[in-house]
Amino acid sequence: MQACTVLITAPDEQSANALAEALVSERLAACVNILPGLTSVYRWQGEVQREGEILLLAKTQKALLDSGEFVRRVKALHPYEVPEVIALPIVAGAADYLAWVEENTGAPPQQPEK
């Protein structure tokens, strides 16, 4: 499993919380950190914009990005026309934490038959 951290910006707390809850409950992310207080300066439709935003850091598997499933879900929930969804590889980390990310993303583990 290749783990990655996905950066997503949201316009407000309500959107950030909805995205985080959906991604974790749908097993698209093992954990999402919500960091308020971000200021973004960017060009949109030919104009320089400056907006307050909230940054989400989602820990997930690269395979969920490669399949398109993660990005499709973010776009379905996000109020922006073009949401930021940028993945950074996790090149090293605590083995038990990375195992936890794998265990809590993707398909749920199979339950033994009784």
The total of other beta-carbon atoms located within 10 Å of residue 2's CB is 15
Total number of residues shown for the chain: 114
Q: Where are the domains of the chain?
A: 3-103
Q: Which residues pair with 48 in a beta bridge?
A: 43
So what CATH class is 3-103?
alpha beta
Structure confidence at residue 110 (pLDDT): 66
Structure confidence at residue 1 (pLDDT): 87
Walk along the chain (114 residues) and give the pLDDT tens digit of each residue: 899 999 999 999 999 999 999 999 999 999 999 999 999 999 999 999 999 999 999 999 999 999 999 999 999 999 999 999 999 999 999 999 999 999 999 877 666 666
